Structure 1
Amino acid sequence: MKSLPATQPVRVWDPFVRFFHWSLVGCVLLNFVVEEGEALHRALGYAASGLVGARILWGFVGTRYARFADFFPTPARLRRHFANLLAGRETPYVGHNPAGAAMMLALMTCVLLLGLTGHLQTTESLGDSEALEEVHEALASGLLGLAGLHAAAALVMGWLEGTNLIGAMITGVKRRKVR
């Protein structure tokens, strides 16, 4: 019988990062079941935007693995990451890998654009704009697609790395293989 590799617990995601992540998930999911234009829909949109704003601030002043400097997805980091993936080379990251970082930034950008287009629909000058409503709906669909891809990638990368990434986002602790 083959023994499993030894693992070492590493505290990665601080309480704020986990609160942000799961609160944003809740806001997004609830906003897809709440009727558009209702006060709750707007409140959830503003809450999601506020969460993203707080996470951006935390990306500069937060803990090590929460800081953008630790994981910002430069073109060189992305090329190296995808080249290693395609070559089957394991490159474990304690925090976000470059693709995960790019996804996180795309998701946050989409939420902020949804908040902006949603807010603009409440203004007197743009409130009746069909084009703006269509942009808002397209962004919402895009967000759902990105979120689904994000969840699938977390499962696949967790399997490839032998790490429970979803569990780590709940507990804050990743279990890394000891070499």
Structure 2
Amino acid sequence: MLGKYKAVLALLLLIILVPLTLLMTLGLWVPTLAGIWLPLGTRIALDESPRITRKGLIIPDLRYLVGDCQLAHITNASLSHPSRWLLNVGTVELDSACLAKLPQTEQSPAAPKTLAQWQAMLPNTWINIDKLIFSPWQEWQGKLSLALTSDIQQLRYQGEKVKFQGQLKGQQLTVSELDVVAFENQPPV
């Protein structure tokens, strides 16, 4: 009888300790696991370990690398699910010079081929990026907000030199606002 109690206690400790250990070491094993789905020659790196809170998943710092070139750097990201998926990101820096270094791979036969197929895969999501920076075009940086469903995708981008608001429903794009400041000291186009 005493042996059964020890076995049950050991099993309970195992059930508690294994998930806690996995949560505490997210930064160590998540990049390796994500590498399974990433293109060859690319990887993600986490400088700080993600945290799971009552409000959702917090990722303080994430980098997407192509070889030794940093294609994307994401800071202060949080993912939650209040009524639909909500991704809030502090800063996203994209380096266009790294795009040429992406490896050429054959398209998977299971990959979506049309816009409608891509749209059908979209979950109901809100995405907010407070500061989106395109390198080497930093002057075009701004705030990006997306509201996505499989039926309608709404996009709003607001920067110092460009403002855009549009909606994509099926293949029909409706632009409700587009302001571009192409030249200094000139009104927007």
Relative to the length of structure 1, the TM-score reads: 0.24
Bigger Rg, structure 1 or 2:
2
Ranked by relative contact order (alpha carbons within 8 Å, sequence separation 6 or more), the top structure is: 1
